[in-house]
């Protein structure tokens, strides 16, 4: 646990021992050496280059004066937290046993210790396996699992070893590591013994026959493709032994023609008994989701004053910019939640849910409807373009109905809030960053104009691949998805098949789709797409019926001709919400485009990824924006007090700690979200010695 520091050279070390600060995931530090009065004097203390060139999103741990990070290529690195000197690196190469076809997102590590027995372990992933490492040496602890590692998904969904990935670190409860995974295969939240690696309990987020919620799915639905996992993370009430879990959309994300019903426990916040995995309560924040409204961030635990008494609550942010707040024990909402009508999909076979939940407090943290008044103001050309666009493609609010017609999707599928989540202080104030960037929503038919089905390979490509790589295989470079045109000139078929099976980069594994479906997709990619004579038959397809009737046309930003978001700023904000009252305390723009500022425009804010840290020194630290800056804001007013340039954009969440009487703020900076240079740098800031209190 974090300790209160002493403002002297004799101050004890103050750690950041857990992902997002502590098990409550509140991103709060009691450190106050760096404060409102002196933060302007912060300067770079040290930096460390991991040598990686991929998105770097780790929230770093600091324990016993050592900083631990996981790099984009899943190296685990330990450095001296006071000066950045490397202590050790664990960098084994992936092989057939570990799976994994390349660098991937992993946002942090897990630390466990038993003080009575002197046991300490760092848990990390490599491909599909979880490893236990000695924090002092970086060596694998051989008595964990099978010679030091355990398969993350062994036994899930009846598969021996599905190729699951692990994005967000789990949470420790006593001698259990509770975690979810992020891939298309499993549906379980699991608790693993930290000493042996054995699974102690599992909760099925897509219920099996006889389990609560089973009736919210069609009786004969192919459950091997449900994929209701919990990639965003968990929070833990250690005293009560309750773990809180946020879950994702059921797949396919934009068409539910074969998964009619409410679809529990997709898009839910759930409270589970941390000892047994038993469900205590749940609330479904999106029913039968068909617009990719995963719960994008871990729940946050805090205490507020409500109804004249102190109440322990859990707050859950959403991609639609709504904040839901519940009594931590009973699951009762702090303020009424209303079921309001939403648009109905006109796609054949779809049975969209007629209503969705909306909290009456707090008010939405972003615009919920794109109107003509929101046409861009950054130039006359952008204004005309966006005004015409919104007249042609009217916005339907946070739950647009997928259709063959193109529509503006606002809030977009990337938020609103994203995986960085929110921070909370002991005063009951919740701090969170939000993006306000429009996207385009369109479905396409997986049939030819004459109504006959596409060849199986092309149709399966539309269902499983087109959302990221485009309906014409040309890629969606604006969000980092490569073209597959001419893939046969760049990679062998076996190399591509390995990536499909194991995942790689931002791509999850697709080993759950049946062999004939996978082979048909590969046939399509490695032969001329117009040549249908070689494609395989439908026999044994895992997606038959209406599930393959429509496919999502792909993740597409809506931008003006200069490449900026096609909407009136702000495009990104930082918000403070008083959860004692449910009122928004302040809102400020987060980030800027220097070239627009030079044209005389006020800072616009930018799309942002990564979260804030709040401290007892009265500060909120956050990077996240596209302009490569890290900033400090006054937590009471939102006034920016300090900023510094990073070598790459800091799309990660900072950590703060004290070593040898000095407080540091550290962040992983890797870039890549908006193109341009990428890297893998850890950067730490502190006050000059003469500026210490």
- The domain that contains 469 carries what CATH number? 1.10.760.10
Tell me the two tokens of residue 335: 């303020």
Establish if 496 belongs to a structural domain.
Answer: yes
Does the structure show a pLDDT above 60 at 278?
yes
**Nearest to residue 175, comparing CAs of 230, 241, 231?**
241
Cis peptide preceding 362, ω within 30 of 0: yes
Q: With a cut of 90, say whether residue 609 has pLDDT above it.
A: yes
Domain extent for 478:
443-553
Cβ–Cβ contacts within 10 Å for residue 599, how many? 10
**Mind listing the pLDDT tens digit for each residue in 203-260?**
999 998 899 999 999 987 766 667 799 999 999 999 999 999 999 999 889 999 989 9
Residues in the chain: 693
In the structure, how many helices (H) and strands (E) does the chain have?
A: 7, 39
Residue 312 lies in a domain: no
In a domain, 488, yes or no: yes
Is 489 strand, coil or helix?
A: helix
Angle, in degrees to the nearest 10, between helices 456-464 and 515-526: 100
When pLDDT is cut at 50, 70 and 90, the band that residue 469 belongs to is confident
Per-residue pLDDT at 530: 44
Residue 462: pLDDT over 50: yes
Q: DSSP assignment of 483-530, as one string?
A: P-TTHHHHS-HHHHHHHHHH-BBTBPP-TTS-HHHHHHHHHHHHS-TT
- What's the predicted TM-score (pTM) here? 0.89
Angle between the 515-526 and 493-502 helix axes, to the nearest 10 degrees? 140
Contact criterion met (CB below 8 Å) for 50 and 684 = no
By CB atoms closer than 10 A (0-12, 13-18, 19+), residue 195 is middle
pLDDT band for position 102 (cuts 50, 70, 90) = low
What is the total count of domains within the chain? 1
Tell whether 482 is covered by a domain. Answer: yes
Q: Average pLDDT of 598-625?
A: 98
Distance CA 225, CA 541 (A): 12
For 468, the 3-state DSSP assignment is helix
Residue 562 confidence (pLDDT) above 70: yes
> Which of 76-85, 357-366, 502-511 comes out lowest in average pLDDT?
502-511
343 is a domain residue: no
Cα–Cα distance measured from residue 541 to residue 514, given in angstroms and rounded to the nearest whole number: 7
pLDDT of residue 47: 98
User: 88-102, 230-244, 419-433, 625-639: which range is least confident on average?
Assistant: 88-102
Out of 297-311, 376-390, 458-472, least confident range:
458-472
Closest CA to 371 of 562, 567, 569, 605: 567
Mind listing the pLDDT tens digit for each residue in 325-378? 999 999 999 999 999 999 999 999 999 999 999 999 999 999 999 999 999 999
């Amino acid at each position: 646990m974090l300790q209160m520091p002493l403002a002297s050279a004799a101050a004890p070390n103050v750690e950041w021992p857990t992902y997002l600060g502590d098990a409550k995931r509140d991103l709060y530090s009691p450190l106050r050496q760096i404060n409102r009065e002196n933060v302007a004097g912060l300067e770079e203390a040290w930096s460390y280059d991991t040598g990686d060139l991929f998105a770097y999103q780790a929230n770093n741990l600091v324990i016993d004066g050592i900083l631990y990070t996981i790099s984009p290529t899943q190296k685990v690195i330990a450095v001296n937290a006071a000066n950045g000197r490397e202590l050790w690196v664990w960098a084994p190469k992936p092989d057939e046993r570990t799976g994994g076809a390349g660098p991937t997102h992993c946002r942090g590590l897990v630390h466990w210790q038993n003080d009575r027995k002197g046991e300490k372990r760092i848990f990390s992933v490599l491909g599909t396996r979880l490893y236990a490492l000695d924090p002092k040496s970086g060596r694998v602890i051989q008595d964990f699992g099978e010679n030091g590692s355990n398969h993350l998904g062994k036994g899930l969904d009846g598969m021996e070893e599905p190729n699951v990935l692990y994005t967000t670190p789990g949470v420790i409860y006593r001698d259990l590591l509770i975690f979810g995974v992020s891939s298309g295969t499993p549906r379980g939240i699991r608790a693993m013994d930290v000493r042996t690696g054995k699974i102690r309990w599992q909760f099925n987020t897509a219920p099996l026959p006889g389990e609560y919620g089973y009736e919210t799915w069609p009786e004969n639905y192919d459950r091997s493709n449900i994929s209701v996992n919990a990639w965003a993370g968990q929070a833990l009430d250690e005293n009560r032994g309750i773990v809180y879990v946020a879950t994702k959309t059921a797949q396919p994300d934009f068409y539910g023609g074969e998964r009619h019903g409410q679809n529990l426990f997709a898009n839910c916040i759930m409270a589970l008994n941390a000892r047994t995995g038993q469900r205590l309560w749940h609330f479904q924040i999106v029913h039968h989701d068909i617009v990719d409204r995963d719960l994008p961030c871990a729940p946050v635990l805090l205490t507020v004053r409500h109804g004249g008494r102190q109440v322990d609550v859990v707050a859950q942010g959403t991609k639609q910019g709504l904040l839901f707040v519940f009594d931590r024990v009973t699951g009762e909402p702090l303020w009424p939640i209303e079921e309001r009508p939403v648009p109905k999909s006109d796609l054949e076979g779809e049975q969209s849910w007629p209503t969705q939940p909306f909290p009456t407090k707090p008010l939405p943290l972003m615009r919920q409807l794109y109107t003509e008044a929101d046409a861009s103001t950054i130039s006359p050309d952008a204004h005309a373009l966006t005004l015409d666009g919104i007249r042609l493609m009217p916005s339907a609010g946070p739950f647009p109905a997928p259709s063959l017609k193109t529509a503006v999707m606002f809030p977009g599928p990337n938020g609103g809030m994203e995986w960085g989540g929110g921070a909370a202080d002991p005063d009951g104030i919740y701090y969170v960053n939000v993006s306000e960037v429009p996207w385009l929503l369109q479905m396409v038919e997986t049939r030819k104009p004459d109504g006959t089905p596409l060849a199986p390979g092309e149709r399966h490509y539309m269902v499983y691949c087109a959302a990221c790589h485009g309906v014409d295989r040309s890629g969606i470079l604006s969000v980092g998805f490569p073209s597959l045109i001419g893939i046969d000139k760049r990679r062998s078929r076996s190399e591509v098949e390995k990536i499909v099976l194991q995942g790689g980069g931002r791509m999850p594994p697709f080993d759950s789709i049946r062999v004939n479906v996978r082979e048909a997709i590969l046939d399509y990619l490695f032969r001329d797409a117009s040549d249908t004579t070689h494609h395989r038959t439908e026999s044994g397809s895992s997606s038959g019926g209406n599930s393959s009737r429509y496919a999502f046309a792909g993740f597409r930003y809506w931008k003006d001709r200069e490449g900026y978001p096609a909407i009136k700023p702000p495009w990104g904000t930082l918000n403070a919400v008083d959860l004692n009252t449910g009122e928004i305390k302040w809102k400020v723009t987060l980030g800027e485009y220097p070239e627009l500022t030079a044209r005389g425009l006020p800072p616009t804010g930018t799309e942002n990824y990564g979260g804030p840290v709040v401290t007892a020194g009265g500060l909120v630290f956050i990077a996240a924006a596209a302009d490569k800056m890290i900033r400090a804001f006054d937590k009471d007013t939102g006034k920016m007090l300090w900023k510094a340039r990073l070598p790459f954009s800091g799309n990660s969440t900072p950590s703060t700690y004290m070593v040898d009487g000095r407080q540091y703020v550290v962040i992983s900076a890797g870039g890549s979200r908006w193109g341009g240079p990428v890297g893998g740098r850890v950067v730490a800031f502190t006050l000059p010695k003469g500026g210490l209190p």
